[in-house]
Amino acid sequence: MVDYAIIGGGIIGNAIARELSLRGAGEINVLEKENSLALHSSGRNSGVIHSGINQKPGSLKAKLCLSGSSMLRNYCAENKVPYEECGTIVIARNTEEKERLHRLHKMGEEAGVSGLRILSSKELVKREPYIIESTALLSPTGAIVDSKYLVRTIAKEAESRGVKYIFNCQVRDINDSSIITSLGSVKRPKHIINCAGLYADNVAQMMSEADDYMIVPFRGEYLEVNVPINSMVYQVPDFIHPFLGVHLTKTLEGKVLAGPNAMLSFGRESYAKEFNFNESIDMITKPHFWKMISKKSFIKTAYLNSKTSFSLGKFREEVESITNISITRIQPGRAGIRAQLVNKDGEMVDDFKIIYRNDATHILNAVSPGLTCSLAFASYVAGKILNE
Ligand SMILES: Cc1cc2nc3c(=O)[nH]c(=O)nc-3n(C[C@H](O)[C@H](O)[C@H](O)COP(=O)(O)OP(=O)(O)OC[C@H]3O[C@@H](n4cnc5c(N)ncnc54)[C@H](O)[C@@H]3O)c2cc1C
């Protein structure tokens, strides 16, 4: 009998598979609906290994981001996964932003992020000549990684320790004795670990869990721009929404991406803005959804993000508000979709949410910085499952 069936071959499912195999936990299968790994959030993100400055003190995210960041950088170095430690800069352009920047600085120090300091304007110009004159907080431990390569490396290691991968295997239902998949029924294992990302709520509900929650998909669209940068450059967060404002990140191939924005998506995998009728009906018939969209703060964010989603000119203006050169080359890049958990009061859940049962564990809201946290997250979850 299989001991663990992990549903979902993203970074979280793979990191947990690796961790359980390292701990000799028994027979492990990963069931993935696609024909390869990391086709969704885990392969469509900014690839940033966050330092942990902007996580709420005391949250699970804050705890796992700090340890996860150093675990992941060490893992990349040891396993030859391409990554670069380029540092992160957060800028503040006016008095109100400066107040938030100081709050961020304090939060980062309280969380234990090392090396944080405010740059003088001379230092900022030297480091980032194309970024607008501003007060800037430097977090030197920020890095970028090839996230698809990372997922495949982790999977290879898990496979070498006996984890079995079953592709094109969509989990459609789960009852007391079986998991019903697109490849047929299989005997229910001792423990199911639901790491289904954008569909984690649906999978949990197959086991009558998480009925009070729904996942709302938010598309993050990127643009490739001609702004030479040395570090990642962020606007100071508003501390209200889980989404960061448009920022600049580098890729390991030398591109500079602006984004992602955060646009309500009418389909959980609608990367090219396709309208998915069934998923949209399912979303808009839930009371959580209406409670969420009637909140004042949501309306403001939705308005700002729809401007950048529908108008290249507005996206360009957003980018130009943080740079001092005009954007002459701008082209749509890829998009990713965030699996944002919303509770029955219509509030977006900020922290990771994990439901533990004797025979199942459900990973809900594995949103950013899920990639950064992945190894620390897997160690934390495996410890709980195995009572270690
Ligand atoms: C635009 C964007 C930018 C981000 N940037 C960063 C960043 O820079 N740094 C960072 O740390 N984090 C970032 N994140 C967050 C990070 O990408 C996620 O936290 C992480 O990828 C979540 O991994 P996952 O394994 O839970 O989900 P996924 O990668 O979505 O994996 C879930 C898997 O489950 C499979 N699946 C779903 N339903 C079923 C089913 N019924 N049966 C079988 N298989 C199923 C899917 O096919 C998929 O492969 C970003 C996310 C987005 C969307």
HSE (CB half, 13 Å, CA atoms) of 229?
Answer: 29
Atom 9, ligand 1: residue with shortest CA distance: 48
Query: What does CATH list as the number for 1-87+142-212+349-388?
Result: 3.50.50.60
Question: Cβ of 356: how many Cβ atoms within 10 Å?
Answer: 10
DSSP element (H, E) containing 191: strand 191-194
Distance CA 361, CA 355 (A): 6
Is the distance from CB of 146 to CB of 252 less than 8 angstroms?
yes
Q: What is the mean pLDDT of residues 158-178?
A: 98
DSSP 8: -
Query: Which region, left, alpha or beta, applies to residue 190 given φ > 0 means left and ψ of -120 to 50 means alpha?
Result: alpha
Q: Which is nearest to 195 in space by CA: 225, 158, 221, 227? A: 158
| Cα(42) to centroid(ligand 1), Å | 4
Atom of ligand 1 nearest to the CA of 31: 43
40, 202, 269, best to mutate for ligand 1 pocket (most atoms within 8 Å of CB): 40
89-131 confidence digits (pLDDT tens): 999 999 999 999 999 999 999 888 999 999 988 999 999 999 9
* Residues within a 6 A CB radius of ligand 1: 7-13, 31-34, 39-42, 45-48, 50, 170-171, 195-199, 203, 220, 260, 336-338, 366-372
227-271 confidence digits (pLDDT tens): 999 999 999 988 876 677 779 999 999 999 998 989 999 999 999
Is the distance from CB of 30 to CB of 164 less than 8 angstroms?
yes
Q: Which is nearest to 322 in space by CA: 260, 270, 247? A: 247
What residue ranges do the domains of the chain occupy? 1-87+142-212+349-388, 88-140+214-346
Q: What is the mean pLDDT of residues 327-352?
A: 92
Q: What is the mean pLDDT of residues 278-283?
A: 97
DSSP element (H, E) containing 347: none
Tokens of 40: 């969704």
Residue 349's pLDDT is 95
Residue 291's pLDDT is 96
Of 51-65, 161-175, 341-355, least confident by mean pLDDT is 51-65
Of 6-10, 157-161, 333-337, least confident by mean pLDDT is 333-337
Atom 31, ligand 1: residue with shortest CA distance: 10
Stated pTM of the model: 0.96
Of 28-42, 49-63, 225-239, 308-322, least confident by mean pLDDT is 308-322
Atom of ligand 1 nearest to the CA of 202: 41
pLDDT band with cut points at 50, 70 and 90 for residue 56: confident
HSE (CB half, 13 Å, CA atoms) of 167?
Answer: 8
Mean pLDDT (the chain, rounded):
94
Q: Which long-range contacts (CB under 8 A, 24 or more apart) does 169-176 make?
A: 169/31, 169/32, 169/33, 170/33, 171/7, 171/31, 171/33, 171/196, 171/203, 171/206, 173/206, 174/203, 174/206, 174/207
Atom 39, ligand 1: residue with shortest CA distance: 196
DSSP element (H, E) containing 91: strand 88-92
Domain 88-140+214-346 class? alpha beta
pLDDT band with cut points at 50, 70 and 90 for residue 300: confident
Is the distance from CB of 207 to CB of 174 less than 8 angstroms?
yes
Is the distance from CB of 101 to CB of 237 less than 8 angstroms?
no
Residue 267's pLDDT is 98
| Cα(221) to centroid(ligand 1), Å | 15
Q: Is the peptide bond before 217 cis (omega within 30 degrees of 0)?
A: no
Distance CA 90, CA 50 (A): 12
Greatest pairwise CA separation for the chain in angstroms: 66
Of 38-47, 61-70, 135-144, 300-309, least confident by mean pLDDT is 300-309
Q: Is the pLDDT assigned to residue 308 strictly greater than 80? A: no
216, 371, 381, best to mutate for ligand 1 pocket (most atoms within 8 Å of CB): 371
Q: What is the mean pLDDT of residues 23-48?
A: 97
Residue 242's pLDDT is 63
Give me the helices (H) in 140-216, please: 147-160, 200-206
Share of the chain above pLDDT 90, in %: 83
Phi, psi of 138 (to 5 degrees): -100, 130
Residue 382's pLDDT is 98
